[in-house]
Amino acid sequence: MLNKNAAKKIISAFLSLMTIAVMTAGCQKSNEEQNNEELLIGFSQIGSESAWRIGNTKDIEEQAQNYGVDLMLENANQKQENQIAAIRRFIAYKVDVIAFSPIVEDGWDNVLTEAKDAGIPVILVDRDISTDKEDLTTCLIGADFYKEGVMAGEYLIRKADALGLDHVNIVEITGTENSTPMRQRQAGFADAIANDDRMTILESIDGDFLTSRGAECMRYLLETYGDDIDVVYSHNDEMTLGALPEIEKAGFAPGKDIIIISIDGGQEAIDVLKEGKINCVVECTPKLGKELMETAIKLKAGEQVDPLIHPIEQVFSDEMNPEDIAPRGY
Ligand code: GYE
């Protein structure tokens, strides 16, 4: 039989072993995290112009943490030159992967050639670039903006049918000139309504994805076209939310006198859809962080990646019960 002291020692040794086991389990990292400790991504974000953008930044930060990836994040405050400077800093810092959301499509050849010469792979997040040069970037992770425009146009055709309209005058408030979502949301919408004789686009005007510009554009459009306006097609929620009070001030009821179509699907716009002042919001998800981390991990490992990754998106509208829409998270 063991004496008391020996028994105590055995128990205390056992307890220490248990503590170590529990501590290691507590500190244990997932395989994903262990493998990614050395991965450093430099990410240049456009700015903070919208709920979409803020949600996108937050998602990328959260996913970097989830995957145990180090992130150098720079906010360019809506200026291309700030993005170019950030990319140059990432190159000097020798990050493993550069990621960025180009504010506009043109003007990236020089800095991306520098990244290529430094052997650093580049991932486009959200928006595309336009270039004649090959292999400046590895892939694009972002929404299918053309399809979003098509979905907006198709909704309008269904709405015009349902209301029995025989003529439909549209004003379009577009996103930042020369940006991918602006170009493609415009083209998709125009193509979707092209064969419908009822549809006329009275004017397309640049609202730069900003609430303040959305309001200014709407004031101008109301002064110019007054009650000829049947539809506002706006390329993002912020511009829509800026335009709505102007419509009300001019004595019209948005959602009833004027059909309102928006893109993004942030919570604030969905709440206004529920109030009946917006008729349709095409979803554009900002949650691109998971794909970004997984793609960067593959690039670091020298693996092939998909050249184009589009998330799946849907349409929220007065054709459905808006109470069924789950909280959006941005
Ligand atoms: O729709 C808008 C934002 O590029 C998809 O940019 C993004 C757009 C989004 O600021 O709200």
- Note the pLDDT tens digit of each residue in 263-303: 999 999 999 999 999 999 999 999 999 999 999 999 999 99
- Give the C-alpha separation, 213 to 219, whole Å: 10
Number of domains the chain contains: 2
pLDDT of residue 39: 97
For residue 123, is it within any domain?
Answer: yes
Domain that holds residue 237: 145-284
Which atom of ligand 1 is nearest the CA belonging to 264? 1
Ligand 1 atom having least distance to the Cα of 176:
6
pLDDT given at position 77: 98
Q: Does residue 90 belong to any structural domain of this protein?
A: yes
272 lies in a domain?
yes
- Residue 115: half-sphere exposure toward Cβ, Cα within 13 Å: 27
Task: Give the orientation angle of helix 51-66 with respect to helix 289-300, to 10 degrees.
Answer: 50
Domain at 155, CATH number: 3.40.50.2300
User: 278 C-alpha vs ligand 1 centroid, how far in Å?
Assistant: 18
Same domain, 107 and 186: no
Q: Three-state SS string across 195-261, please?
A: CCCCEEEEEEEECCCCHHHHHHHHHHHHHHHHHHCCEEEECCHHHHHHHHHHHHHCCCCECCCEEEE
Distance between CA atoms of residues 301 and 189, nearest Å: 40
Query: Does a structural domain hold residue 17?
Result: no
**pLDDT of the residue at 72:** 98
- Based on the fold, state whether residues 150 and 246 are members of the same structural domain: yes
Nearest Cα residue to 106 out of 82, 87, 132: 132
Domain end: 284, 303, 321, which one? Answer: 284
300 lines ligand 1 (CB under 6 A): no
Does 185 share its domain with 274? Answer: yes
Task: Say if CB 230 and CB 168 are below 8 A apart.
Answer: yes
Q: Is residue 13 part of a domain?
A: no
CA separation, residue 161 to residues 166, 227, 231, 299 (Å): 9, 21, 14, 49
- Could you tell me if 136 and 182 lie in one domain? no
On whether the CB atoms of residues 98 and 91 are closer than 8 A, the answer is yes
Strand-pair partners of 200: 169
What are the tens digits of pLDDT across the range 205-247?
A: 999 999 999 999 999 999 999 999 999 999 999 999 999 999 9
pTM, rounded to two decimals: 0.89
